[in-house]
Amino acid sequence: MSDAVHIERAGPIALVAIQNPPVNAASHAVREGLWNAVETLDADSDVKVIAVYGSGRTFIAGADIREFGKPPQEPMLGRVCSKMETLGKPIIAVCHGNALGGGLETALGCHARVAIDGLTVGFPEVTLGILPGAGGTQRAPRLTGIKAALDLITTGKRVNAQTALELGLVDRVTTGDPRDVALAAAQEVLYGTLKTRAVRDIDVEPDDAAIDAAAKALAAKQPLLFSPHKCVEAVAASTMPIDDGLARERELFGECMESPQRAGLIHAFFSERAVTKIPEAGATPRKIEKIGVIGGGTMGSGIATAALLAGLSVRLNEQSSEALSRGVATIEKNLEGAVKRGKLAEDKRRAVLDVNFHASTELSDFADVDLVIEAVFEDLDVKKTIFKSLDGIVKDGAILASNTSYLDINALAAGTSRPADVMGLHFFSPAHIMRLLEVVVADKTAPEVVATGFALGKKLGKVAVRAGVCDGFIGNRILSHYRKVADYLVLDGATPQEVDAALEGFGFAMGPFAVSDLAGLDIGWATRKRQAAFRSNQERYVSIGDRICEGGNFGRKTGKGYYVYGGDKPVPNPDVEGFIAAERAEKGITAKTFTADEIVDRYMTAMIAEAARVLDDGIALRPIDIDAVFLFGYGFPRFRGGPLHYADTLGAAELKRRIEAYAREDSYFWQVPSLIAQMAEDGTTFASRN
Output the pLDDT for position 186: 98
- Note whether 636 and 643 are within 8 A (CB): yes
The chain-wide mean pLDDT, for the chain, equals 96
Give 368-392 pLDDT, tens digit per residue. Answer: 999 999 999 888 999 999 999 999 9
**pLDDT higher than threshold 80 for residue 69:** no
Percent above pLDDT 70 for the chain: 100
Residue ranges per domain, the chain?
5-258, 290-469, 476-689
Common-topology check for domains 5-258 and 476-689: no
pLDDT (mean) for 256-260: 95
From 105, 280, 374, 583, active-site residue: 105
Give 536-593 pLDDT, tens digit per residue. Answer: 999 999 999 999 999 999 999 999 999 999 989 999 999 999 999 999 999 999 999 9
Checking phi first, is residue 493 left (phi over 0); if not, alpha (psi -120 to 50) or beta?
Answer: left
pLDDT (mean) for 12-36: 97
pLDDT (mean) for 437-446: 98
What is the third-level CATH fold of 5-258?
Answer: 2-enoyl-CoA Hydratase; Chain A, domain 1 (3.90.226)
Give 152-188 pLDDT, tens digit per residue. Answer: 999 999 999 999 999 999 999 999 999 999 999 999 9
Output the pLDDT for position 429: 87
Query: Could you tell me the pLDDT band of residue 1, with boundaries at 50, 70 and 90?
Result: low
Task: Say what the pTM is.
Answer: 0.92
Output the pLDDT for position 72: 87
Provide the 8-state DSSP code for 415. T
Active site residue 598: no
- Note whether 629 and 463 are within 8 A (CB): no
Q: What is the spatial distance between Cα 482 and Cα 472, in angstroms, rounded to a whole number?
A: 13
Query: Could you tell me the pLDDT band of residue 417, with boundaries at 50, 70 and 90?
Result: very high
Asked: is 290-469 a CATH 3.40.50.720 domain? The reply is yes
- Note whether 297 and 375 are within 8 A (CB): yes
Closest CA relative to residue 309, chosen from 345, 358, 359, 360:
345
**pLDDT higher than threshold 60 for residue 650:** yes
Output the pLDDT for position 70: 84
Q: What is the dihedral of CA 303, 309, 311, 317, to 10 degrees?
A: 30
**pLDDT higher than threshold 90 for residue 524:** no
H/E/C letters for each residue in 354-393?
HHHEEEECCHHHHCCCCEEEECCCCCHHHHHHHHHHHHCC
pLDDT (mean) for 428-439: 95
Give 47-62 pLDDT, tens digit per residue. Answer: 999 999 999 999 999 9
pLDDT (mean) for 77-86: 97
Residue type at 629 in one-letter notation: V
- Note whether 169 and 121 are within 8 A (CB): yes
Q: Pairing between strand 49-54 and 91-95? A: parallel
CATH code given to domain 476-689: 1.10.1040.50
Output the pLDDT for position 473: 97
Output the pLDDT for position 570: 96
Output the pLDDT for position 163: 98
Give 97-137 pLDDT, tens digit per residue. Answer: 999 999 999 999 999 999 999 999 999 999 999 999 999 99
- Note whether 91 and 111 are within 8 A (CB): yes
Least confident of 171-185, 207-221, 520-534: 520-534
From 8, 67, 74, 125, active-site residue: 125
Active site residue 105: yes
Residue 122 bridge partners (DSSP):
100, 158
